[in-house]
Structure 1
């Protein structure tokens, strides 16, 4: 059984054409991942222009995450069935069109709706990118290099989001973070149709609408429950009820997939430790990375009081480390085995998280912050590349889209959980500790709405700093700002220990249960290919 591949003359026979197709696929990936991060920088501007509060702005980000995560598995299966390039092009066009809608929005509701729709179409793009790579690159070494490039681009896009968004906001309005997607999407569509071959499963059974429906409902409800948990409380009826309902739907999904002759996801794949354990490693890596980026955003903009562009420049070493580490780690795994590389990457990630938790108000960037970022980024890159290669090499070509979607879904759920859990730890400690301090601030200096914002986030330091006040009150303002910064860093220290613990436990599980011997040179992927 193999996937059908549109091998137009010279397209796949030429190494340069294969890597040209890879460059186009990485451009599509860049659009999706960057769009998921760049909008964060524009949130304050959107809030001022559309006169909305923190809760509404959170949904500008979360609406995208919710639809994106919920539809990844379904879209991966549809790509296997109807053509991965076709589904990816539809997604790229949709992202471009809905970006125009977002840029033209005049109300918060319109922005949120546009972002939700963008998440739907982005879910069509992302699984197809990795599935196409697997089908184009059948040589083991070339495939490892291509996956490394794909991995590096994902990490790079996440890291450069603040810098590119900051640059746009220094020169244009918040609408620019939507407009920038339009030409990129147009170029990606034309280049995809020109350079990327079509591929799809050679044989498909009946469509599995029940499986698709259960997967969408279960994953979407789970992600929603995680997103809303910090607001309602992790032990609230809303959170526990949502997680219970999601779990019921997902159990139903698994039971149905085991029963139906044409599942959208072959559950037997999870019996393969080279598939399931790397997926766990990726989920934990993204749990730590998204949590780390959440904490470092508060640090750079709230504690160090950087502008968005300065924040982006300061975080560049993170992007560079990911770009450098991913290719090296993926190729190294071909020589010494995936397990050793993943375990080392997780340990390095844990070190970065621990070092990040030791940062204080007076820490020097070069000696206190930079080592943490570099260690974290290298650890992520070292885990991500070999783990992704292991997952995709465990699949028959016919299931590349669904397997890619599993890989992507674990990232999204892990990342969402990281922000929610680590963010809740920081927010809870910060709000509890700083509230009495804020309450003592005179109403003449801060009204109740401003106090509420200050209790919610250390980013309010920027607004407090810019306020004109009598010179007599300047010492009190500095004391308040110092207290806010110190408090949020104490909360970050606790969160970093939780994340470090999760990573170390995962490293132990992988070390015990994932085979240490390098996989056979003829990978499972090639074995399936040679059966025909």
Structure 2
């Protein structure tokens, strides 16, 4: 059903699009910009690697786990209400992060940022769909919306490096304040409310179980080495994961409007899309987290110099995201999925040769390979879903696969830190080069091989699928 709104005047909807994109830019920027600030946060707040993992994962867990609920909430109570509330909340959370006197307060702020960011992303597309009702203008607006994410990823490391180097790590949060306030004020005045269906009952039990299970598993991965894998807190966390998973599945099977429709998993194309999204992006997030620490703590680059050295990754993502869909439509999504997972796997495995003092030429091209690969995976898996899922369920299916993509960041950071912790104390304030390199090589081996295996699985399960079989999947 189309949103219940008449077309806006051209100048009004252009203003709406501008400030919607400003909000989206903030969310995507904060998912990337904070990485180059991690060494400064570690030094200023006197924390170890495990705390730095939580700086990333507190944001990502909240963001990933609440995406599906936020989309449904916007459809039910109003897209403007949810987006503007998320925008104001994200701005306030950024203020809390900027003033954080301790790691505990910073983590609360980061979790709130992730929660509020999850409210903005799904409903922003629904707002654009509502105010751009002509197919040509809607396609152009969605293209701009999609490009904003790539732009934020591209400028994030360099902008973060400049800010951290000249104004301290708090400045990466300060920049959200004026942009967020201005956007909230403008959208409150010019954006009209839309919704696409009557209010529905939210799957609150499923949401709580989902967050609890993911949080417990992340806690076990991050804190397992420091507390001991057989310590009471870790055993309790693992037990909680099992209980939450069982209860979640049982509840979702009975729920009329489940958080994650489990019947999606009967479709093998959907399963492959989730798998390659998770393991492909898993490798990228492992690289971003560990290479930031390597460049600043082992090779002693500044935050700005580190950001510049990430440009092959971020620019390749921005460029390849624009051409990925076109390539997939010409050669087929399966070939692009296999090619993308191969690129990510090879690019990550190349990084295992890094040692103290390794030069830019050693890893620059590998970062570009990873960036192109994840972009191809994202584009090809989306096209696969559109072809394999009934039109009225494409949005829900994409929401689930996007959640898998976000969860790859959670576990990529958690697992890589756990492997580092096997070789050193995760709470240690100093990073020993040789020990750190041993740990990140293990992480790169696992991430690279996992991506290659995901590509092999895609070929095995989809390589002989005919169009008739795909149609049968859709009918199911």
Length-normalised TM-score, structure 1:
0.76
Do the aligned partners of 2:25 and 2:148 also contact (CA within 8 Å) in 1? yes
1:416 matched to 2:410: yes
1:384 matched to 2:378: yes
1:65 matched to 2:54: no
SS of 1:189's partner is: helix
Map 1:4-19 onto structure 2 (within 5 A): 4-9=3-8
The 3 A distance-change label for structure 1 pair 197 and 280 is: farther
- Ranges in structure 1 where 5+ consecutive residues have no aligned partner: 433-448, 459-483
Shift of 1:419: 1.7
Match of 1:507 in 2: 455
The 3 A distance-change label for structure 1 pair 22 and 271 is: farther
Shift of 1:362: 5.1
Do the aligned partners of 1:152 and 1:322 also contact (CA within 8 Å) in 2? no
SS of 1:171's partner is: helix
1:494 matched to 2:423: no
Match of 1:406 in 2: 400
Shift of 1:273: 3.1
Match of 1:346 in 2: 341
* 1:364-415 C-alpha deviation (Å, 9 max, x unpaired): 312x111111111111111112323444676677767654542332122211
Do the aligned partners of 1:217 and 1:249 also contact (CA within 8 Å) in 2? yes
Do the aligned partners of 1:337 and 1:519 also contact (CA within 8 Å) in 2? no
The 3 A distance-change label for structure 1 pair 75 and 224 is: farther
1:425 matched to 2:419: yes
Map 1:25-104 onto structure 2 (within 5 A): 25-46=20-41, 49-50=44-45, 56=51, 58-104=53-99
SS of 1:63's partner is: helix
1:267 matched to 2:276: no
Do the aligned partners of 1:80 and 1:399 also contact (CA within 8 Å) in 2? no
Deviates more, 1:325-334 or 1:150-159: 150-159
Mapped to 2, the partners of 1:332 and 1:143 lie a distance apart of: 22
Mapped to 1, the partners of 2:466 and 2:14 lie a distance apart of: 26
Match of 1:453 in 2: 429
Shift of 1:41: 3.5
Do the aligned partners of 1:229 and 1:420 also contact (CA within 8 Å) in 2? no
Do the aligned partners of 1:8 and 1:197 also contact (CA within 8 Å) in 2? no
The 3 A distance-change label for structure 1 pair 41 and 374 is: closer
Mapped to 2, the partners of 1:93 and 1:162 lie a distance apart of: 24
Do the aligned partners of 1:317 and 1:374 also contact (CA within 8 Å) in 2? yes
SS of 1:453's partner is: coil
The 3 A distance-change label for structure 1 pair 274 and 54 is: closer
1:302 matched to 2:335: no
Deviates more, 1:286-295 or 1:42-51: 42-51
* 1:189-247 C-alpha deviation (Å, 9 max, x unpaired): 35656787765443554443333333333333333333434543556554454234223
- Ranges in structure 2 where 5+ consecutive residues have no aligned partner: none
SS of 2:256's partner is: coil
Mapped to 2, the partners of 1:62 and 1:249 lie a distance apart of: 19
The 3 A distance-change label for structure 1 pair 493 and 262 is: closer
Match of 1:446 in 2: none
Do the aligned partners of 1:283 and 1:414 also contact (CA within 8 Å) in 2? yes
Match of 1:479 in 2: none
Do the aligned partners of 2:222 and 2:415 also contact (CA within 8 Å) in 1? no
SS of 1:278's partner is: helix
Do the aligned partners of 1:326 and 1:381 also contact (CA within 8 Å) in 2? yes
Match of 2:178 in 1: 183
Mapped to 2, the partners of 1:142 and 1:321 lie a distance apart of: 27
Question: What is the root-mean-square deviation in Å for CA atoms of aligned residues?
Answer: 3.9
SS of 2:3's partner is: strand
Mapped to 1, the partners of 2:135 and 2:265 lie a distance apart of: 22
The 3 A distance-change label for structure 1 pair 5 and 319 is: farther
Map 1:109-124 onto structure 2 (within 5 A): 109-124=104-119
Shift of 1:172: 1.8
The 3 A distance-change label for structure 1 pair 325 and 148 is: farther
Shift of 1:300: 1.5
1:228 matched to 2:227: no
Match of 1:284 in 2: 279
Which has more radius of gyration? 1
Do the aligned partners of 1:257 and 1:264 also contact (CA within 8 Å) in 2? yes
* 1:317-361 C-alpha deviation (Å, 9 max, x unpaired): 211100111111112222332222111111111111121222333
